[in-house]
């Protein structure tokens, strides 16, 4: 399977696809959350993609910092931290609004099970809109998967772009759940039938950032390069 398939102007190195296909099938088979909830079907694949992407990124940037907004139980975050093998910094944000996992306990346990160093793990509890400000540290890689309303997703994406620009940093921003071929998000409205997709495309156009949509990842993953 070519994991890099999909529309967009951003070209991603073929090595990421090779690493994805040669990497572990499931980066954390022992993943669990205390509520007993199972991982959504796309999440082992999403974690596997982040594992491959981070491994590739580490060739060029020996210390990587990662932020995930809407990290939940860490089903996708474990891909980053497994690849980081104890080094680098992982920042997690969640307001526990879905109540499908116990945050931060479940997330922390899963991330530490990948061998990540507890001292490099920063867990923030609350609404991303009150946690992210211009003083929040920039990250090389950011995964946005929190508020899925059009306004909420747009806020998170723009805030992360602004933090990167203020610090003159480069990196990648991932945005999950942007499949615009289905109308399945409960956050959809008449004005915004594909809320996260619309926020992603609007930010890419307004800030003139190269973008790509990876359609072979469940519920589609957007990538912005900054």
Which positions touch ligand SAM (CB under 6 A)?
43, 70-73, 75-76, 93-98, 127-128, 145-147, 152
Query: Smaller CB distance to ligand SAM: residue 43 or 212?
Result: 43
Q: Are 171 and 226 in contact (CB under 8 A)?
A: yes
Place of tokens 């990662």: 66
Give the bridge partners for 68, in sequence order.
92, 143
In angstroms, give the least distance from the CB of 161 to ligand SAM.
17
By the 10 Å C-beta count (0-12 exposed, 13-18 middle, 19+ buried), 162 is classed as middle
Q: Which two tokens stand for residue 36?
A: 């007993």
In angstroms, give the least distance from the CB of 168 to ligand SAM.
26
In angstroms, give the least distance from the CB of 14 to ligand SAM.
26
Please name which of 220, 143, 209, 129 lies closest in space to residue 182, comparing C-alpha atoms.
220
Q: Are 78 and 144 in contact (CB under 8 A)?
A: no
Helix axis angle for 195-206 and 150-166, nearest 10°, is: 30
Residue in the shown chain whose Cβ atom is closest to ligand SAM = 70
Please name which of 76, 84, 83 lies closest in space to residue 92, comparing C-alpha atoms.
76
The CA–CA distances, whole Å, from 193 to 150, 176, 182, 218 equal: 9, 16, 9, 19
In angstroms, give the least distance from the CB of 128 to ligand SAM.
4
In angstroms, give the least distance from the CB of 33 to ligand SAM.
9
Query: Smaller CB distance to ligand SAM: residue 99 or 208?
Result: 99
Query: Smaller CB distance to ligand SAM: residue 92 or 201?
Result: 92
In angstroms, give the least distance from the CB of 208 to ligand SAM.
27
Query: Smaller CB distance to ligand SAM: residue 16 or 47?
Result: 47
């Amino acid at each position: 399977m070519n994991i890099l398939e999909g529309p967009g102007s951003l070209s991603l190195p073929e090595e990421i696809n090779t690493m994805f296909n040669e990497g572990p099938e499931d980066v954390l088979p022992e993943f669990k959350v205390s509520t007993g909830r199972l991982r959504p079907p796309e999440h082992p694949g999403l974690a596997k993609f982040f594992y491959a992407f981070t491994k590739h990124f580490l060739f060029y940037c020996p210390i990587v910092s990662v932020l995930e907004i809407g990290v939940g139980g860490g089903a996708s975050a474990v891909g980053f931290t497994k690849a980081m093998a104890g080094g680098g910094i992982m920042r997690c944000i969640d307001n526990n609004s879905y109540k499908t996992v116990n945050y931060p306990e479940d997330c922390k346990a899963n991330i530490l099970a990948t061998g990540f160093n507890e001292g490099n793990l920063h867990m923030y509890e609350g609404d991303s809109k009150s946690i992210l400000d211009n003083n929040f540290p920039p990250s090389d890689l950011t995964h946005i998967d929190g508020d899925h309303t059009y306004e909420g997703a747009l806020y998170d994406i723009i805030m992360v772009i602004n933090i990167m620009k203020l610090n003159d940093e480069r990196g990648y921003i991932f945005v999950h759940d942007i499949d615009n071929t289905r109308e399945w998000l409960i956050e959809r409205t008449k004005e915004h039938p594909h809320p996260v997709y619309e926020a992603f495309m609007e930010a890419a156009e307004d800030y003139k950032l190269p973008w790509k949509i990876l359609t072979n990842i469940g519920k589609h993953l957007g990538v912005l390069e900054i």
